Amino acid sequence: MLISEAAKLSGLSAKMIRRYEEMGLLSSHRQANGYRHYGQQDIDTLRFIAQARKLGFSLQDIQELTLLWSNPQRSSAQVKALAIKHIQQLEANAQELLNMATQLKQLAEQCRGDADPECAILNGLDGAQA
């Protein structure tokens, strides 16, 4: 099948499929006419990559996961360690987002929100308030 159909079946754009090929996550199969050709294994790999991206894995981690996924001699300990590292990063990111929301809520609560130009939010953003 051609890249347009592979994109449709995998839920990825043709541009992303080309990028994954450039990165070596997917082999490029060219027909005599120069068009890329994809088989079911390629679609399965693209779906695997798409799911890993939905879970927030970095492209570097996806490269490693793809290699592990395709290696029947892999150790599940390697996969678990990679997942745990990613979970820790997600939790740290979530905490950072909560901290930002808390800080912004405090600034919003201090802002009178009236016709007066004085604004605690803008003051907080420019560093006038901590």
CA atoms within 13 A on the CB side of 128: 9
What is this structure's pTM?
A: 0.79
Tens-place pLDDT, residues 111-121: 999 999 999 99
Nearest to 1 by CA among 32, 31, 46, 45: 31
The residue whose two tokens read 């990613």 is 86
The residue whose two tokens read 């390629």 is 42
| The pLDDT of residue 126 is above 90 | no
